[in-house]
Structure 1
Amino acid sequence: MVPARLLRACVRHGPAWWPTARAAEVLDKRLMHHPITSIARTRYGARIPVTTSDLIQRYLYMFGTWEPNLTAWICGQLRPGDDFIDVGANVGHFSLLAASLIGPSGRVVAIEASPRLAATLVQTATANGYKNVRVVSSAVSAAAGELTFYIKDRNNLGGTTSIRPRKQPPAAFSAPTASLPDLLSATELENARIIKIDVEGSEADVMDGLSPHLHRLRPDAELAIEISPKRLARQGRTPRDVTAPMHAAGFRRYRIDNSYAPRSYAERQVTPPHPWPHPITEMSDLIFSRSHHSASPSGPHATR
């Protein structure tokens, strides 16, 4: 059996061809079924504590990145002094990436509903020397309240949701809620270059609280929102509850393609956002921008 460390070196540094992709598939299964706890070093230099039973943490350990197309797009957009709002920060990949791009004159607000993940993210940001990251332990919704969250799959903590599953697992935790503008200072909201929202079906509730304040965003502000039609439907909502306020505020929508197959990560083919005038019928990552086109991947961390 090839040692996991050797497979990881092949996956990280080998050429983007089929043996590397095959090594990624083998390593993915091994780390999922025989998890380890380690420190993942990302492509942008941050060190994140991980347990490889979880999909996001496993891919950070294997590849040093997560959702490479979105990562590349963010790298092409953020500049020193920008602010980045991360709603659904999880272990902090996008928050720490943004902190590395915007420098000490910019600010990151990382909002995470899980008290455990939020506490870990505080420690991770400190350990990496990022003093420009403010972690908020809260869920984001339309108004103040409290939500119960459920973990459908222990191998994918990123799928933790406040939408009650049909086959209800035990409640994982409860978290206070507030609207996004209520969790941010006026300066953080109005200087935000990118707002990333990944809340596993609660995106319409987030938009209910944010849409009255869209006029306050800077002219070049962009939003990256994951939209989950099936989870929205279970609440009597539709993707239009998210997209209509954005379109009314002058934003156009673009789609970022996502594959979570280890082979696609090993192949390292980054694709930019593309216009998406079509109905949203499946889980989709969308960019909302007032520009006529969204920038192609660029910047120091744009490649996988």
Structure 2
Amino acid sequence: MKIDRARIVGKINFLINRIRDRPPVYLGDDTLLLYTPYGFYIYLDGRDDSLTPHIINNGVWEAGISRYIDASLNPGDTFVDIGANNGFHSLLAAKRVGPGGCVVAFEPQARLCTLMQRSLRANVMADRLFIQRQALGDTTGMVQLGKMAYMSGSASLLSNQQIVEHEEVPIDRLDSALAQLSHAIGRKVVPNLVKMDAEGVEYRIWCGMRDMVRDLRHIRIVTEFSPISYRHQGMDVVGFLHEFHDHGLRIQIINRKGELRDFDIRHAEMLAQAERQFDLVLSK
């Protein structure tokens, strides 16, 4: 599918300019309601210092990824959002795939799932958006999710000195979680596009989904890739990149404009030693 990026960027810039005419509404209980440039309502956590200020100011979260999702999904597609947070990307995808599509939002934090449920009802998307309160990884059971004060976007299963409290949450493999959801809703959930952002535990999630990826003929995955975090965990970062390649996935780097640049696996060592994180698009 050929994407007219100039038209998309122009449309987004026009809509972002209009968002300033529709300021967020404070509803009490540390909750705000915003109407986004993409044409959906979203409830936001007023205590959050990470996602909420950016969405209020710009009308979008992670502009490059949002643009890619908006341009890549078609009516009837299935989108899986791993680490959905307040659901911005899930709501955007649900708007794009329409009533015949399916969006699954995996988010372990109870507060954020409640906000997403309110957004779901405000946008009348119960027919296509399914919110699953759980973490994903390579195991099944219960885990402790560490949460930081005023930084809901940084909750993680990894240890961190900034963690102030923990929330016990269920965890499962992606293939198992989707199989259970398929049974519950009476239709098979097979993703066209997956977004993965899990604060450093992306490899664990990958281990729980790579068999599914191997068996699918076509799939796209947008994932945060953080070499610094992986190195601190003692991971083989180069090996992680080669796993993507060995599973037949084309690796591309996505920028803030939603533009893709091919990545040569021969440069894996260079990327593995980088001092910043990247957003990758994996596709086959």
Contact 1:83 1:193 in 2 (8 A): yes
Verify: 1:43 aligned to 2:31, yes or no: no
Residue in 1 that maps onto 2:61: 66
Residue in 2 that maps onto 1:54: 49
- Identity value in percent: 26
Partners of 2:162 and 2:171 lie apart in 1 by: 22
Alignment deviations for residues 164-210 of structure 1 (CA, whole Å, 9 cap, x no partner) = 01x253333121110011110366553x1101000001101001111
TM-score by length of 2: 0.79
Which of residues 10, 17, 20 in structure 2 aligns to 1:13?
Answer: 17
Q: Quick one: which amino acid aligns to residue 13 of structure 1?
A: N
Report which of the two has the higher share of strand: 2
Which of residues 237, 241, 244 in structure 2 aligns to 1:243?
Answer: 241
Shift of 1:123: 2.1
Alignment deviations for residues 119-152 of structure 1 (CA, whole Å, 9 cap, x no partner) = 2212211221012100000000101022222234
CA gap of 1:271–1:96, structure 2 versus 1, over 3 A, is: closer
Which of residues 131, 138, 152 in structure 2 aligns to 1:135?
Answer: 131
Contact 2:77 2:101 in 1 (8 A): yes
Which of residues 165, 172, 177 in structure 2 aligns to 1:171?
Answer: 165
Partners of 1:81 and 1:287 lie apart in 2 by: 21
TM-score by length of 1: 0.74
Segments of 5+ residues of structure 1 without an aligned counterpart are: 1-10, 15-19, 21-35, 259-269, 291-304
Which of residues 263, 267, 274 in structure 2 aligns to 1:276?
Answer: 263
Residue in 1 that maps onto 2:4: none
Contact 2:65 2:258 in 1 (8 A): no
Verify: 1:93 aligned to 2:88, yes or no: yes
CA gap of 1:188–1:161, structure 2 versus 1, over 3 A, is: farther
Find runs of 4+ consecutive structure 1 residues off by over 4 angstroms.
186-189
Shift of 1:254: 0.9
Verify: 1:199 aligned to 2:186, yes or no: no
Alignment deviations for residues 80-105 of structure 1 (CA, whole Å, 9 cap, x no partner) = 01000000000000000000000111
Contact 1:140 1:206 in 2 (8 A): yes
Verify: 1:232 aligned to 2:230, yes or no: yes
Aligned length: 247
SS of 1:176's partner is strand
SS of 1:160's partner is strand
Q: Quick one: which amino acid aligns to residue 146 of structure 1?
A: M
Contact 1:87 1:198 in 2 (8 A): yes
Larger relative contact order (Cα-Cα within 8 Å, sequence gap ≥ 6): 1
Partners of 1:177 and 1:234 lie apart in 2 by: 23
Partners of 1:117 and 1:214 lie apart in 2 by: 28
- Give RMSD over aligned pairs: 2.4
Verify: 1:286 aligned to 2:273, yes or no: no
